[in-house]
Amino acid sequence: MTAHWEFAWGPQHFQELAQRLKHPVLAINCYNKQSGKRPFQGSIVLQRRGLRVGVIGVAATIIDKSIPPRFSEGLRFTSGIDELPAEIAKLRSSEGVHLIVVLSHLGFPQDVRLAKIVDGIDVVVSGHAHNRLDHPPRIGETLIIQ
């Protein structure tokens, strides 16, 4: 999963809750302001029936910009655009993945922009904006599902 409103618990409490989950929280674009380190994994590799899938999480970027400051205390969020190319390259070369899926909580317009700018994304599972899509749009080689 990636995150948005989960940060309403406060970053520290959310991190504690995340450790109890049976699945990872992925947020390649979330950083500790002091250390510069990511409090959550950026990606994981799943293998299903011989297919290696790289899954990258992009958390909502508005957490430190337009909602109460306590939600993001000690954290900063980027758009993920700068981080994604290197992560995709690592997953494809070092991890041998066949498919790149981005779990995004940016919103549909931002996901379209992301697909136009960042090469190598096969599927964006888009959240936040709640657009009703009759068919998944294809932006270049990227499908967007919401």
- Higher model confidence: residue 122 or residue 3? 122
Do 52 and 97 form a contact (C-beta atoms < 8 A)? yes
Taking alpha carbons only, the member of 91, 6, 112 closest to residue 42 is 91
Q: What's the CATH number where 89 sits?
A: 3.60.21.10
**Rounded-to-integer distance, Cα 20 and Cα 142, Å:** 33
User: What are the contacts of 9-13 at 24+ separation with CB within 8 A?
Assistant: 10/70, 10/71, 10/73, 11/39, 11/71, 11/72, 11/73, 11/74, 11/75, 12/74
Largest pairwise CA distance in the chain = 44
What pLDDT is stored for residue 79 in this prediction? 92
**Rounded-to-integer distance, Cα 138 and Cα 116, Å:** 10
For β-strands 75-77 and 138-139, DSSP reports them as: unpaired
Range of the domain at 133: 5-145
pLDDT digits (tens, 9 = 90+) for 84-134: 999 999 999 999 999 999 999 998 999 999 999 999 999 999 987 777 788
Global pTM reads: 0.91
